[in-house]
């Protein structure tokens, strides 16, 4: 378990909006980057799904390490819930468009 000093918590609290903004940008680049690099939309979609699921697994594993939960269990749960949410969002977007 990681313990942060009071000064570090205060720094994080003061800079939370900047941290959240940077996190959204970096997090958004994970599923969007294949569309910027790959030549076809179909190939980019497959790569985006794979990259997103891998990122969810890694983030879940790290979350498990920080929270003291089983890292593998946390990784699979995060991958499942995040993948399910992404899949539902994709289906809703397809229905609306």
pLDDT value, residue 16? 75
What's the domain count of the chain? Answer: 1
pLDDT tens-place string over residues 20-65: 888 889 889 999 999 999 999 999 999 999 999 999 999 999 999 9
| CA–CA separation, 76 and 58 (whole Å) | 9
Structure pTM? Answer: 0.75
| CA–CA separation, 80 and 63 (whole Å) | 14
CB atoms within 10 A of CB 61: 18
Where residue 1 falls among pLDDT bands split at 50, 70, 90? Answer: low
Segments forming the whole domain that contains residue 83: 6-96
| CA–CA separation, 80 and 58 (whole Å) | 12
| Assigned domain for 30 exists | yes
| Assigned domain for 24 exists | yes
| Assigned domain for 1 exists | no
| Assigned domain for 78 exists | yes
């Amino acid at each position: 378990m990681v313990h942060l000093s009071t000064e570090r918590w205060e720094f994080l609290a003061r800079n939370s909006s900047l941290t959240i903004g940077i996190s959204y940008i970096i997090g958004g680049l994970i599923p969007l980057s294949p569309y910027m690099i790959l030549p076809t939309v179909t190939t980019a979609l497959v790569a985006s799904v794979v990259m997103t699921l891998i990122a969810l697994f890694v983030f879940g594993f790290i979350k498990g390490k920080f929270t003291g939960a089983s890292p593998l269990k946390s990784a699979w749960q995060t991958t499942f819930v995040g993948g399910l949410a992404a899949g539902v969002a994709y289906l809703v977007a397809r229905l609306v468009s």
